[in-house]
Chains A and B, each alone.
Chain A
């Protein structure tokens, strides 16, 4: 399977990655190679094999329901570009 320039642009947009137009053919080649690798794996017979959700064959550890975090807003907001009245400010988004 080979990806075209349109698909590359769409994937970049979905991931919010800015790419230069002249790099699109190169990305298309790289991404297509990944898909070829996937196709190679798809050829393996996986009949009766349960899909893995994680490379580690371990169950998820659970934590007790306790509040262990303290308020560190000032420290977090010290590195935020813009804050006001305790809120993080971002460019206007409206649906």
Chain B
């Protein structure tokens, strides 16, 4: 039987506010335990939450960016459960009336096709603290710095049909929240966490199978692998006559498998109800329009523009617009060079990305800035250096040896484009290889490449290869 996977994702994006969603405590990452957990975050008696305007603004930005309905009225609710890193005994979230409803994003599939994925809702909520289970002589240590950090939970429709599609969607949301500057997207620090709901069904069937939920996937690679494993597992269970148990599972990257979380016997009963400490959130039209006016150019629009105006291939445009900082860098290079978009794209995706990756540096901290790279590309375009020498120049610039012109001069990498000089080299090479010359004359035309190589060698790689070809051809043809 042929099976089809049905996947929906819940993504928790930590909003990039300075202070918490309901208190004035800092959200900075990496502080000493509990130094950023104030009375409100601790749920001490008598405190009242007051909603952070920036968190609301960020949620609305996201809603507008995915063409969603932004609720003019939304309501905060209490989600009740007991766990030590949730001091109040409830999490403030949104339930029946979330702030963002019914949006959609477009993903690019591997074959170049596009697919629309529905976003059911996105709601504001507070994060919980952290439990540390090790090293406390049988006790659990609780750090509440993260408690009260604003999250936007983004829930997709079950529109995804493969692990690759799920990754494309998750990456798209990741790109979007970073373009909007509402989330730093740092997956190691937990700023962007993914839960996946997955089920399988016979292809052609319209009813859903029983789903499982894989919690807390913190990389795109783990998302893809965990889904691939879980889909296979469910198919095996069904094909051997069993049935899938609805449960929460965790992915173990070391063993590349998912395992059921130890479940409590009771099914979850969160007893949601409107939080009496918070009034309904009402947004007026003018305020929403003001937020809309602040939206930057979004990745889809930018990608389309790079293809239409710069003539970039779809692949290049997708790679370059995946991160706003990369697209900004690329645009700055194109502006400084004054065109030659494809050459600029090649260098940004090639040498630059390679060096950044190798040294673990963010593009915004690149030792070779867009102006400097443009300086090098201009020297390729005007024939001062060959493409190969340019790579050496780039490495030297990366190592701090100065700008392109300084490196070319200091290392003597200037390409010989002087026709007279190249002709002299050709004379020398032909004179030194009379035997090959005779064979060439006798019709062994493959030797042309040999002569090119010898001239390049005689120039120590500095001759302009295109010129060498032209001049050599003219010389040999003339004599022939």
A46 contacts B by Cβ under 8 Å:
no
Evaluate contact between B276 and A54: CB separation under 8 angstroms.
yes
Evaluate contact between B24 and A68: CB separation under 8 angstroms.
yes
Which residue from chain B places its CB closest to the CB of A64 in the assembled complex?
Answer: B53
List B15-62 residues whose CB lies under 8 Å from chain A. Answer: 17-19, 23-26, 32-39, 42, 44, 50-56
Size category, B interface? 35 or more
B282 contacts A by Cβ under 8 Å:
yes
A89 contacts B by Cβ under 8 Å:
yes
Q: Is the interface of A mostly helix, strand, loop or mixed?
A: loop
Evaluate contact between A92 and B55: CB separation under 8 angstroms.
no
A82 to B: closest C-beta gap in Å: 7
Size category, A interface? 35 or more
Q: Which of A58, A63, A77 contacts B24 (CB 8 A)?
A: A63
CB contacts (< 8 Å) of A66 on chain B: these are 18-19, 24
- Among B137-145, B401-409, B458-466, the stretch that binds chain A is B137-145
Evaluate contact between B34 and A92: CB separation under 8 angstroms.
no
Evaluate contact between B139 and A90: CB separation under 8 angstroms.
yes
Evaluate contact between B281 and A88: CB separation under 8 angstroms.
no
List B271-297 residues whose CB lies under 8 Å from chain A. Answer: 271, 274, 276, 278-282
Which residue from chain A places its CB closest to the CB of B83 in the assembled complex?
Answer: A93
Check A54/B274 contact, CB under 8 A, given A60-B282, A68-B19, A87-B136: yes
Q: For the complex, what is the distance from the CA of A84 to the CA of B261, rounded to whole Å?
A: 28
Check A62/B133 contact, CB under 8 A, given A85-B141, A87-B142, A88-B144: no
Evaluate contact between A62 and B53: CB separation under 8 angstroms.
yes
Check A87/B26 contact, CB under 8 A, given A60-B280, A62-B56: no
CB contacts (< 8 Å) of B308 on chain A: these are none
A79 to B: closest C-beta gap in Å: 9
Which residue from chain B places its CB closest to the CB of A50 in the assembled complex?
Answer: B73
Q: Which of B19, B38, B141, B261 contacts A72 (CB 8 A)?
A: B38
Evaluate contact between B51 and A84: CB separation under 8 angstroms.
no
Q: For the complex, what is the distance from the CA of A25 to the CA of B281, rounded to whole Å?
A: 41
List B64-99 residues whose CB lies under 8 Å from chain A. Answer: 75-76, 80, 82-84, 89, 97
CB contacts (< 8 Å) of A72 on chain B: these are 38-39
B131 contacts A by Cβ under 8 Å:
yes
B203 contacts A by Cβ under 8 Å:
no
Evaluate contact between A59 and B282: CB separation under 8 angstroms.
yes
A45 contacts B by Cβ under 8 Å:
no
CB contacts (< 8 Å) of A90 on chain B: these are 84, 139-140, 142
A73 contacts B by Cβ under 8 Å:
yes
List A65-89 residues whose CB lies under 8 Å from chain B. Answer: 65-69, 71-73, 76-77, 82, 84-89
Q: Which of A61, A67, A76, A93 contacts B84 (CB 8 A)?
A: A93
Check A62/B51 contact, CB under 8 A, given A14-B269, A69-B24, A72-B38: yes
List A1-29 residues whose CB lies under 8 Å from chain B. Answer: 13-14, 16
B132 contacts A by Cβ under 8 Å:
yes
Evaluate contact between A89 and B136: CB separation under 8 angstroms.
yes
B262 contacts A by Cβ under 8 Å:
yes
Binding site for B on A (CB under 8 A): 13-14, 16, 53-54, 56, 58-69, 71-73, 76-77, 82, 84-95
Ranked 6 nearest A-B pairs via Cβ? A68-B24, A65-B54, A87-B141, A59-B282, A86-B33, A62-B53
Binding site for A on B (CB under 8 A): 17-19, 23-26, 32-39, 42, 44, 50-56, 75-76, 80, 82-84, 89, 97, 131-133, 136, 138-144, 261-262, 266, 269, 271, 274, 276, 278-282
23 contacts between A and B (CB under 8 A): A13-B266, A14-B266, A14-B271, A54-B280, A59-B281, A60-B281, A61-B51, A63-B53, A65-B17, A65-B52, A67-B25, A69-B24, A72-B38, A72-B39, A73-B34, A82-B139, A84-B141, A85-B141, A86-B35, A87-B132, A89-B136, A89-B142, A90-B140
